[in-house]
Structure 1
Amino acid sequence: MTEKTVVITGAGSGLGASLAKQFSVCGYHVCLLGRTQDKLIRTASKLENDHSIYEVDVTSLTSVHHVMKRIQEARGSIDCLINNAGVGVFKYFGDLKPKEIDQMIDTNLKGTIYCTQEVLAGMKEKNRGTIVNIVSASGKVAKETESVYSASKFGVRGFSDALALELKNSGVQIFSVYMGNMKTDLWGDEHPEGQLNNYMDPDDVAEIIIENLKPRKHLYVTDVTILNHV
């Protein structure tokens, strides 16, 4: 197929939805992945080009395997994977419940690893492809009330850096994004509306990501850091 395919996890809202819209404008076939079909349908209704919807639980290796296999059979190959699905529970460590700890580690870290493993073989075989890991600034600087969230994101950072070294002589690119606070559902009721208004717009972040992914002569970008105004 001549039309490029991008797979976006957590595409039902926030940055995932913004990336889906902008990749669609760029002419990609966008595969929208997420746990909630209604949210994926809402995102799909705003896309300009061909797309497909897949319900997936990134914490389940079986679910990820089946969905990625279906996409590869339908599309022939995956040109770009964006590991965007993420969960955050922002409490002091002593207040975190075991279920919340598992949820962050399983979604943010293991979900990224599972999805990457399922697409990497095909990319290596064709010696081309891009894997974008949405890490967060919390993967560089730890914060209070983000102990396990930061642990999961530091893990994604280490995974990304090590995998980039493995693939340095191949045509597969690993690209990491470290962004600050955005206006997304991640926060739930954690922040008052006024504070959220000062956070960055997911559409702006998506635009910066796509701009840095564009092929250019004599250079490529390995990661980008996008910070809030202080």
Structure 2
Amino acid sequence: MDMNVVITGAGSGLGASLAKKYSDLGCHVCLLGRTQTKLIRTAETLTNNHSIYEVDVSSKQDVAKVMHLIKEEVGAIDVLINNAGVGSFDLTENLTEESIHQMIDINLKGTIFCTQEVLDDMKKRNQGYIVNIISLSGKRGKATESVYSASKFGVRGFTESLALELEPTAVRIFGAYMGNMKTELWGGASTEETFMEPDDVADIIMGNIKPQKNILVEEVVIKNDKNKY
């Protein structure tokens, strides 16, 4: 596959799994994240061309700078996967102001800022894919996830609205809603047997990022199979 794939939050978890799989397919993968050491760790697993870009997705200026650099150094962006996200899980009254700002700024604003930077080029070329990693917390509320869920509901609204804007074009966007995975987001709970493997989730997402005759994918819902064990 001759594509340039940009993945935010590529330093671990689902982002790292997606990066490895796209690299194995021969794509040029651009690894974006806040921590260079994590991005380097992911890069060491890749088999093909890749680039590393440190970025704070909550900063529109930083995002614009990095996306411009990618277009100059790598070329047009064919696939953008907005995967960067953070979560603080506690009763609403216990959440700090800092954690509230962080979840809204990274999960919601970060997705919007990154998407804005690829839309113009994708529309001009009349091609491209945008995938927003949202989580099932963007489908229903859950105790101790009030603000995290609010940020994900925001991404859901953004995704669905943008899909309507893109209907006259061949640019495609969909949201991926998944349950708990074995990632750093869930800390010590990530070893739970019923939690999903990032590699398995990555396969499902990638299976929907491709042209399919007479098929339009609006969302992908991936739930934990609690009856498996």
TM-score (norm 1): 0.95
Is 1:203 equivalent to 2:202 in the alignment? Answer: no
C-alpha separation between the residues in 2 aligned to 1:49 and 1:197?
32
C-alpha separation between the residues in 2 aligned to 1:137 and 1:56?
26
SS of the residue 2:211 aligns to: coil
C-alpha separation between the residues in 2 aligned to 1:124 and 1:215?
16
Alignment of 1:183-194 (within 5 A): 183-189=182-188, 191=189
CA-atom RMSD in angstroms: 1.2
SS of the residue 1:52 aligns to: strand
In the alignment, is the contact (CA less than 8 A) between 1:32 and 1:54 conserved in 2? yes
SS of the residue 2:208 aligns to: helix
Write the letter of the residue equivalent to 2:220.
Answer: V
C-alpha separation between the residues in 1 aligned to 2:194 and 2:215?
33
1:99 counterpart residue number: 98
Alignment of 1:74-223 (within 5 A): 74-189=73-188, 191=189, 196-223=192-219
For structure 1, the 5+ residue unaligned runs are: none
Write the letter of the residue equivalent to 2:5.
Answer: V
1:11 counterpart residue number: 10
Alignment of 1:45-64 (within 5 A): 45-64=44-63
Q: What is the deviation of 1:215? A: 1.9
C-alpha separation between the residues in 2 aligned to 1:65 and 1:128?
20
C-alpha separation between the residues in 1 aligned to 2:24 and 2:160?
30
C-alpha separation between the residues in 2 aligned to 1:45 and 1:76?
22
Write the letter of the residue equivalent to 2:78.
Answer: D
In the alignment, is the contact (CA less than 8 A) between 1:83 and 1:132 conserved in 2? yes
In the alignment, is the contact (CA less than 8 A) between 2:181 and 2:195 conserved in 1? yes
In the alignment, is the contact (CA less than 8 A) between 2:77 and 2:128 conserved in 1? yes
In the alignment, is the contact (CA less than 8 A) between 1:183 and 1:197 conserved in 2? no
Q: What is the deviation of 1:220? A: 2.8
In the alignment, is the contact (CA less than 8 A) between 2:26 and 2:48 conserved in 1? yes
Write the letter of the residue equivalent to 2:196.
Answer: M
Q: Deviations over 1:49-107 (max 9, x none)?
A: 11000000001111101100000111221000000000000001000000000000000
C-alpha separation between the residues in 2 aligned to 1:3 and 1:53?
18
Q: Which runs of 4+ in 1 moved over 6 A?
A: none
Q: What is the deviation of 1:117? A: 0.4
C-alpha separation between the residues in 2 aligned to 1:50 and 1:61?
27
Alignment of 1:66-77 (within 5 A): 66-77=65-76
Write the letter of the residue equivalent to 1:43.
Answer: T
TM-score (norm 2): 0.96
Q: Percent identity?
A: 62
2:26 counterpart residue number: 27
Q: What is the deviation of 1:108? A: 0.2
C-alpha separation between the residues in 1 aligned to 2:64 and 2:187?
30
Q: What is the deviation of 1:221? A: 1.5
In the alignment, is the contact (CA less than 8 A) between 2:4 and 2:75 conserved in 1? no
Write the letter of the residue equivalent to 1:148.
Answer: V
Q: Deviations over 1:21-40 (max 9, x none)?
A: 11112221000000111110
2:64 counterpart residue number: 65
